[in-house]
Amino acid sequence: MSEPRGRSTQRHATATDVARLAGVSQSAVSRAFTPGASIARETRARVEDAARALGYRPNAIARSLTTRRSRIIGVAAAYLQNHFYPDVLEALSKGLQARGYHLLLFTPDAARDADPLLQEVLAWQVDALILASTTLSSALAGQCRAAGIPVLLFNRTSRHADVSSVTGENLRGGRLIAEFLVAGGHKRLAFIAGIENSSTSRDREAGFTGWLAEHGHAPPLREVGLYDFEAASAAARRLLARSDRPDAIFVANDHMATAVSEVARHEFGLRIPRDLSLVGFDDTGPARWPSFSLTSFAQPLHPMVDAAVAMVCEMIEDPAAPTRHQVVPGELVVRGSARIPPEGCVSRGDALVWRPVQETVV
Amino acid sequence: MSEPRGRSTQRHATATDVARLAGVSQSAVSRAFTPGASIARETRARVEDAARALGYRPNAIARSLTTRRSRIIGVAAAYLQNHFYPDVLEALSKGLQARGYHLLLFTPDAARDADPLLQEVLAWQVDALILASTTLSSALAGQCRAAGIPVLLFNRTSRHADVSSVTGENLRGGRLIAEFLVAGGHKRLAFIAGIENSSTSRDREAGFTGWLAEHGHAPPLREVGLYDFEAASAAARRLLARSDRPDAIFVANDHMATAVSEVARHEFGLRIPRDLSLVGFDDTGPARWPSFSLTSFAQPLHPMVDAAVAMVCEMIEDPAAPTRHQVVPGELVVRGSARIPPEGCVSRGDALVWRPVQETVV
DNA sequence: GCGGGATTTGCATGCGCATGCAAGCCTTCC
DNA sequence: GGAAGGCTTGCATGCGCATGCAAATCCCGC
């Protein structure tokens, strides 16, 4: 190879080495690598040559120490089994990479408390924290605020603390789904919740049951699926084994909805949507495949991620900015997993969506 | 809240602040947070009290600067749509978190060159680099070696450079699948490749076609699916539209195999496995769901990740260690997507696996 | 009661870089 | 020709922590 050096840890070249070779001061080297710094064109070229010759790259750690900005953003993501989150992660990573940030990933155990892990991430002086599928303890929120670290909840909100968030239209989605299922003539509705104390599940449920109550319908049956494939399967079994089996189930996300679909068809021999209507939430991954063809309220990935990236960057610029709760609009994408009401669906682009007559803004 | 401080960037407490409050030197504070350092029990307690009072946490960036170990591991992962990788990512993250490392994630564009991004990650003085779905340019491999940074390829190997790797049994898997399909009486085989220059796809194909050739069978039809859902769908359409439609397809991974399954059943109205047998690779995610019930060569996630974690840690300990190519054994899990040969399958645990009579070790 | 070893502590320094400041240089204009 | 002003440059310093070394303290046995 072209690297005939000694066997192991070759000391990395430092700015001082480059300076020596280029015949300039270390400051000049620093300036050569700092966009906008005051340096003559010719000097910069000389430094760049020397840097290339030595294979020099500025040490991001040392730089962070002096600039006090790490350009690292801590991201917590759990439930990567749910296809929504890998997509989010990839989009977030690309969006932030494009702006010169990198992601320090951590994956809290669903079971265990995330706080100790978060602490480790804070030790890295992250410029911001994005929590994609974890709730934030109010203690930690306080710490972050005290330390001036912006925190953004993605697809979650927190009632404890005053923390910014980006979410889809959970409440409205739940309402629309109720309306849609009732319009489809279903009589025995059921809801499968995600994790009880997650804001997404609560809001979706609140929208769903709220609309039903307001319109004089019986409250739906209810089971808990914990946003987990197996748990959702079990929840489906309980529901479908009942003598008063529901004729429509709203499942709090698509990941669980696929599980329910599998159980309904392959264990109970039901036909969808003839025997059972199914509606999910997220409109992501396998839900779109023909095998599932899931009717689902869409959480538009890229708008949500773009919003998150923009908000995080703003918050880093101005840590004193007020908290914001951005809600990214979505729509109920109608496919084949639920009976389609005789009217009320309109085609938008290549998809069919549920278009309520007139809804009150929530 | 309990943090009545001023509005924004509260300067973080430093070791010196803690030292002052605790009435000791800054070194003592440092030692209190360094496991194994020489410090009296009582002093440590005093420091810890002061630290707690000030909300002090050692600054990981400053620590890294002096220790020259960042305890950060760069991880490149693309193709997160393929369910295998989120699972890998989560397991890797947990495994390394448990050992005190954190992951700096970066997501190279499949299209674009990963090198510039890798450079940025190297600037972070990562202790090691794990490439989960990206190939490494030999230039970069040289740089890493020169810098003494261990590199581990996960589910890839590289012919260019002498870089350690962890993979499944790609070659053997391909051979077993050939044998399995032939034993099932199939006559017109096809292979759908992933990305042409990825070692996984090449090895799987080499095993497949190698076995066929050795046993006097015609070479399979061949299409390319680029490890992409849409591209694999298109490849399937091309294959299935032929007048000499294949009666069995080996698809280079499960992600693509689900696409093929969808196309075959929902666009061509084929019944699986009666009209078409399908075998995938990875044994992950939706492949196991009843809707797909994919026969697939398993790449055991946790053994692979555990091996990767162990290898990375070793390499960090001893950068001069020789490169290793660890191959984690798997097995062909037999489900319903391919015709089952009259004999040769044995049940292992709750699964059925293909048990070749006697194979030569490859 | 005292010396010697073990333990604990503080001092000083450096990790690699960014940056305020002042000195140096060149251009320009009267 | 000289001075003012703009552009570059180097010097010195500090970011927050770890650590070698020497000083200080403690404990123990004789």
A contact residues 217-246, partner B, Cβ 8 Å cutoff: none
Task: Find the CB nearest B124 among A61, A146, A291.
Answer: A61
- Using CB atoms within 10 Å of the CB of residue A196, give its burial: 0 to 12 exposed, 13 to 18 middle, 19+ buried: exposed
d(CA A65, CA B5): 24
pLDDT per residue as tens digits for the range B54-65: 989 999 999 999
A69 touches A317 (CB < 8 A): no
Spatial separation of the C-alpha atoms in residues A176 and A345, rounded to whole Å = 12
Q: Tell me if chain A has a CB within 8 Å of the CB of B13.
A: no
| 8 Å CB contact of B86 and A105 | no
pLDDT value, residue B113: 73
Residues with CB under 7 A from strand C: A 11-12, 14-16, 26-27, 30-31, 33-34, 37, 56, 58-59, 62-63, 65-67; B 23-28, 31, 38-43, 62, 65-66, 68
Q: Which residue on chain A is closest to B58 by alpha carbon?
A: A123
Residue type, position B90, single letter: E
Pair B106, B75: CB distance under 8 Å: yes
Q: Give the model's pLDDT for residue B285.
A: 85
Q: Is the minimum distance from the CB of A307 to strand D below 7 Å?
A: no
| B263-321 pLDDT tens trace | 999 999 999 999 999 999 999 989 999 999 999 999 999 999 999 999 999 999 888 88
pLDDT for A361 equals 52
Starting at the edge strand that comes first in sequence, how are the strands of the sheet with A72-76 ordered? A325-328, A164-168, A151-154, A128-131, A72-76, A102-106, B102-106, B72-76, B128-131, B151-154, B164-168, B325-328
pLDDT of B135 above 80? no
- Each residue's pLDDT, cut to its tens digit, for chain A (362 residues) gives 333 333 334 568 899 999 999 999 999 999 999 988 888 888 999 999 999 999 899 999 999 999 999 999 999 988 888 999 999 999 999 999 999 999 999 888 866 777 788 888 889 999 999 998 776 676 777 778 778 889 999 999 887 778 899 999 999 999 999 999 999 999 999 999 999 888 999 999 999 999 999 999 999 999 999 999 999 999 999 999 999 999 999 999 999 999 999 999 999 999 999 999 999 999 998 999 999 999 999 999 999 999 999 999 999 988 888 999 999 999 999 999 999 999 888 888 888 899 876 555 54
* β-pairing verdict for B128-131 and B102-106: unpaired
What Cα–Cα distance (Å) separates residue A329 from each residue in A92, A171, A199, A200, A212? 19, 11, 17, 14, 22
- Asked if A2 lies within 8 A of B142 by C-beta distance, the reply is yes
Q: What pLDDT sits at residue B197?
A: 84
Q: Give the Cα separation of B180 and B11 in Å (integer).
A: 65
Using the structure, give the distance in angstroms from the CA atom of A15 to the C1' atom of D6, rounded to a whole number: 27
Identify the pLDDT of residue A333: 95
Structure tokens at B182: 């032939």
Q: What is the mean pLDDT of chain B?
A: 89
Residues counted in chain B: 362
In whole angstroms, what is the distance from residue A348 CA to residue B101 CA? 47
* Residue B166 amino acid letter: V
* Binary contact (A57, B109; C-beta < 8 A): no
Contacts with A94 from chain B: Cβ below 8 Å:
107, 109
Integer angstrom CA distances of residue B104 from A70, A104, A208, A296, B90: 13, 5, 39, 33, 13
Record: contact B103-A102, CB cut-off 8 A: no
User: Tokens standing for B82?
Assistant: 């393929």
pLDDT at res. B10: 57
Task: Provide the pLDDT for residue A359.
Answer: 53
Domains of chain A: 15-58 (no CATH), 71-168+302-328 (3.40.50.2300), 170-299+330-354 (3.40.50.2300)
Only one residue has tokens 């669906």, namely A345
Contacts of B258 in chain A (CB under 8 A): 286, 289
Cα–Cα dist A282/A296, whole Å:
6
Strand D: positions under 7 A of a protein C-beta atom? 7-12, 14-20
Q: What is the DSSP letter of A13?
A: P
Dig out the tokens for A356 from the structure: 């309520």
Give the list of residues 6+ apart from residue A346 with CB closer than 8 angstroms, or none: A352, A353, A355
Confidence of residue B115 (pLDDT cuts 50, 70, 90): confident
For the CA of A34 and the C1' of C24, the distance in angstroms is 22
- Would you say A189 and A220 are in contact if contact means Cβ atoms under 8 Å apart? yes
Alpha carbons within 13 angstroms on the beta-carbon side of residue A189 total 27
B51 touches strand D (CB under 7 A): no
Angle at B320 between CA B319 and CA B323, to 5 degrees: 90
N- to C-terminal Cα distance for chain B?
65
The pair of three-digit structure tokens given for residue A85, joined into one six-digit string: 């989150």
Nucleotide nearest B125 (Cα, C1'): C16
- Residue A119 is nearest to which of B57, B75, B290, comparing CB atoms? B57
